[in-house]
Amino acid sequence: MASLLGEQLFQISDQGPPPSKDFYQVVITKTEVILRTWKISLRPGFRGAAPTTLRTTHQDFLHHKPLQRQVGAVFGQVILEYAVSLCQGKFDYLERLPDDILLKVLSHLELKDTALLAQVSHRFSKLCDSEKFWEQTVRNHCAEFTADMEGLANTMGWKKIFFTCFYRSGSKDQ
């Protein structure tokens, strides 16, 4: 599973909370947390100031409460909690799997379970709503599907074909 982890585990960039116009970036690698800040100001003392970079180990980040407060203020509590969990070695391997492998996993789930999975994250929502997923669903679960219907599915969309032609509300096999 460790091979699924690249050198960079997470990256996010955003503008600081108002009234600041500063930009921030957090990069979490396998060994360190990097916070970059760009001061945006019209004041002569800050105009054209170079970005600053703060590098800290995972352990130091876990004990550096002011840095954690700054990350939380800029990116929000959810991102801070995710950063802390990465620094504690808690990796979300499922989220890192390639789409083709996740589609194979999804092919073994019931439709109602994929609807629940789509609520887990933006990535799963996009994947469960993708044409690839719906094409796979039609091909694997719809015995009545014919080659003549493929052109129609490519034109109308696989999801629409599934719900128009094959889905029966309340069916036990879905």
> How far, in Å, are 1, 64, 110, 158, 167 from residue 164 at the CA level?
40, 56, 18, 10, 7
Model pLDDT for residues 49-68, shown as the tens digit of each residue: 788 999 999 999 999 999 99
Contact 28, 9 (CB under 8 A): yes
Token pair 């503008």: residue: 15
Model pLDDT for residues 105-148, shown as the tens digit of each residue: 998 999 899 999 999 888 899 999 999 999 999 888 778 888 88
